[in-house]
Amino acid sequence: MTSNSNNKFGDLVKRLITGILGAAFTIFVVAYDQWGFFGAFLFLAVMTQLEFYKLIQASGIIPLKTYGTLMGILIFTLFFLGSSGHVHDTDWFYIILPLTSGVYFIKLYKKDEKKPFTNIAFTFLGIFYVALPISLLSVAAFSMGHYSYQIIIGLFLILWASDTGAYFAGIQFGKRKLFERVSPKKSWEGSVGGAILSLVFAVGVSYYFHDLARWQWIVISLIIIVCGTYGDLVESLFKRSMQIKDSGRKLPGHGGFLDRFDGLLLSVPFIVIFLKFCMKY
């Protein structure tokens, strides 16, 4: 066996171990109770947002990393408390507005920055691209009027199935490039493999999780197939613009948090809209 083959096998083993442990932990804390959900996804939001700002800084841009991350924590907490019913007064959300203005005040007193509004823009991008979509998971979790661990676990099982199917189908059959300008390694065959496994898991989930009907799980799967693929491509475009290969090395075999959850960031807003309309009508 060649050295290159050994490296690929080693990466695959790391990927599998990290994926299994991460999935087991996520399922356990989400199923445990709503506070387990809160702690796990607050951690995910913070780590992913910090990773985003770190990558931005590597390109010479100077976002307000700490301030932006604290804003992300506040937004996540408000969405959780509001969705769960712990806070009934939605006026608390208005706190975000003056704190948003604080970014301008802080940058006004930074003397040596050549492009302060570029730095401001990327501070906000970290909030809207990372913190807000993860915060919307709380809306999905409580979309039925109570905490539904089934919706969150089912959503992630379908997402993981899509990623896994795309990865192995791409390795085994990948020939036709999906979007070569942005991501040379991604293939149509991989996308089809991810779509098939995602739909299979959606049907399988519907047999065990009954908070949503089978057709609703299938629609969620279709959203993940489309938006998850675009989320992956958007993150590839971001990395290419920053001239980096992986977003980080915190998850062995998977790169960083952005690499692992890029599909989630674009999928969740559409899933939340779908669930809101389903529950309303």
More confident residue, 73 or 15: 73
More confident residue, 130 or 21: 130
Mean pLDDT of the residues in the chain = 87
What pLDDT is recorded for position 1?
Answer: 45
Backbone angles phi, psi at 218, to 5 degrees: -65, -40
pLDDT digits (tens, 9 = 90+) for 130-152: 999 999 999 999 999 899 999 99
Q: How many Cα atoms within 13 Å fall on the side-chain side of residue 75?
A: 26
Beta-bridged to residue 255, according to DSSP, are: 251
Q: Are 68 and 123 in contact (CB under 8 A)?
A: yes
| CA angle in degrees (0–180, nearest 5) for 12-129-72 | 105
- Start-to-end C-alpha separation, the chain: 59
Would you state the structure tokens that stand for residue 176, as one six-digit string?
Answer: 């036709």
* Type of residue at 100: T
Would you state the structure tokens that stand for residue 271, as one six-digit string?
Answer: 């899933």
User: Does the pLDDT at position 2 exceed 60?
Assistant: no
User: Does the pLDDT at position 79 exceed 90?
Assistant: yes
What pLDDT is recorded for position 181?
Answer: 77
Closest CA to 131 of 59, 52, 58: 52
User: Does the pLDDT at position 159 exceed 90?
Assistant: yes
Beta-bridged to residue 183, according to DSSP, are: 179
More confident residue, 130 or 245: 130
Q: Looking at the whole model, is its pTM more than 0.85?
A: yes
Would you state the structure tokens that stand for residue 163, as one six-digit string?
Answer: 């990623």
pLDDT digits (tens, 9 = 90+) for 194-216: 999 999 999 999 999 999 999 99
DSSP 3-state assignment of 142?
A: coil
More confident residue, 181 or 165: 165
